[in-house]
Amino acid sequence: MSGGESIDHHLLKLELAQAARAAGFHAEYEVAAPDRSWRADVMATSVDGTQRVALEAQLSLITPEDIQQRTNRYEQGGVGVCWFGLRPRPWVGSVPSILLNSDRDKGVWSVSAGIARMTKLDPNSSFQQWVPVEEVTLVDAVTWILSGRMQPHRPLSLAKTVLGRDGRQWPPGWVGSTLDKWHVWWTTSRHIDVDAQQDRDHREQIHIAMLRSHSPMRAFRARTKIENITGLKSLIVKQFNNNATRSEADFHIRLDPIYADGLAFYGYRWHGGLGTIRDREPFVVVCPDILGGRHWVNNVPVAFPVAFRDRLTGIRDLWLFDLEQGAIWPVEPKDSVISSALASWRSVTTADTTSVDSRPDLDNTDPPNSAS
């Protein structure tokens, strides 16, 4: 009845068909193309007939070149395909594929390799790495494939491998004596977007590094998307100038490699009979290149455009600014004179709901028209 198939191949075809039906698709065995260019072990077809996916039980030997040609023929016919195996082979990972484990006594088939997601292995870094998605049943995997929840993906960024729990090498189920490495695996569109963005960020870093060798200021503009340097200087000087008699000429700005290529704002001060000298440390550094996971270890205030708010963590004395609104404000505002006085007054005064400290507008630290 199995037409010369091995028992494992026959049982796997049955499981694939049942999984497709559990996902709400029709499933048929041994469906061939009109021109005989392909023949699917199991053809899963959506109820409305608009979507077809071939589920192939590939347990016999086949070369990576042959299986790629067969995959191409499916794609040319508008049919999706996933190849299912039970152990690592040279072709595994060269095409959309999933490896399975089977527990015949319990009748449970589960995924051992082929599905991955992106995550941060180092919480202090923005770089994300591929890790395996574990504890997935065959029914879950087929449902996700047929529903479009996950798609085959070839990694784009520098993260080209799937790492196990130790974060150093491929997980055991993903490797074998005849398998070098995977080139394509199944994942969701969200993780594909993360991989694509990580690749764009890397290419932009290379572009900025090339710009920096020719023009540091052009590199700064490209990296920060800040074009109005004059407006930025006026805003920063206005905020941090504690001497009303100073002019912008009394300040010096430069891209300083000491402060991660940020735009450092230095002031000048009177030094006895020696005249004016530049401060040793800047009073603020704008947009140092620390968004790629580098730490800000300097005891100097740092300022970023408000658009970068969600990418900034663990930075002390952080300021945000909006050049269009002409506003700059601290993320964690220091206590004002009024709030300090009220706190002192409350510490020695009985609570009174009608007192002046109940007025909400006395210590408004939010900038005008800024996001709270």
116-119 vs 302-305, strand pairing mode: unpaired
Range with the lowest mean pLDDT among 34-43, 186-195, 214-223?
A: 214-223
Residues 27 and 44: beta-carbon distance below 8 Å? yes
Helices (H) and strands (E) in the chain, counts: 7, 17
In three-state secondary structure terms, 154 is coil
Instruction: Place 214 in a pLDDT band, splitting at 50, 70 and 90.
Output: confident
Q: How many CA atoms lie within 13 A of 304 on its CB side?
A: 21
E strand or H helix that includes residue 207: helix 189-214
Mean pLDDT of the chain: 84
Burial (0-12, 13-18, 19+ Cβ within 10 Å), 81: buried
Instruction: State mean pLDDT over 166-177.
Output: 84
Instruction: Place 111 in a pLDDT band, splitting at 50, 70 and 90.
Output: very high
Instruction: Place 175 in a pLDDT band, splitting at 50, 70 and 90.
Output: confident
Tokens of 144: 């996700």
CA dist 76 and 337 (Å) reads 72
Q: Is the pLDDT of residue 129 over 70?
A: yes
Q: What is the pLDDT of residues 230-275, one digit of tens each?
A: 899 889 988 887 654 566 677 788 898 899 999 999 887 655 555 5
Tokens of 355: 């007192």
Instruction: Place 372 in a pLDDT band, splitting at 50, 70 and 90.
Output: very low
26-32 vs 39-45, strand pairing mode: antiparallel
